[in-house]
Structure 1
Amino acid sequence: MKKTEQGKLLKNIRQSLDKKGFSNFFINVRTDTYLKLFNPLEETRKRVNYYEQAGTDRIFIPGLNNILEIRLIIESLNIPLNKKSTKVLYSHPLIHNNTFKN
């Protein structure tokens, strides 16, 4: 399924949920760009922004471990990024001191 089809599907799901009184229903979207692409940053940024516009509440990106790329993605979003914490990430000053969080 192409991201445009996924985006349309997500938008339809969000609109249907809202219309039927389930506006608090949480939609978490996963994109596997960091597991499948060699240089995934730009494609990931495009996808997460597209999914955000479609009504996603949160994004999960398995394999995203580069602290600077995490920062770039977070800065381009208005919704939270789910990130499985590791000791290295948790102890990094930008994460630990809440220097960037959305």
Structure 2
Amino acid sequence: MRLEIRNGDWFGTAEWCGPGEVALDIPDPGRREWFQRYFQSENAFLTGAVDGAELSVERPDSSQEAFIRAAYQLARYSYEVSRESSGTRSQARAS
């Protein structure tokens, strides 16, 4: 799963290669380092029923699903993320 990441002008891609492995093609060293930390960090969130909520933790690089969730959450930081999927393009951006 390869995603394009933009912030105004296009500047890089991120690709989930396997558990714990995200390949980044980002020319700017500062941004690349930020994305490395972002995809290696742990995210905590509540799951389960309202009356029995549990705390769950996942790393964005742990699975393809976690990678996709984290990538589209980049919209919070004013990034646009898009991917090619069977000839169609999906996109997320902050409104």
Q: Which has the higher strand share?
A: 2
Q: Which has the higher helix share?
A: 1
With structure 1 as the length reference, what TM-score do the two structures score? 0.28
With structure 2 as the length reference, what TM-score do the two structures score? 0.30
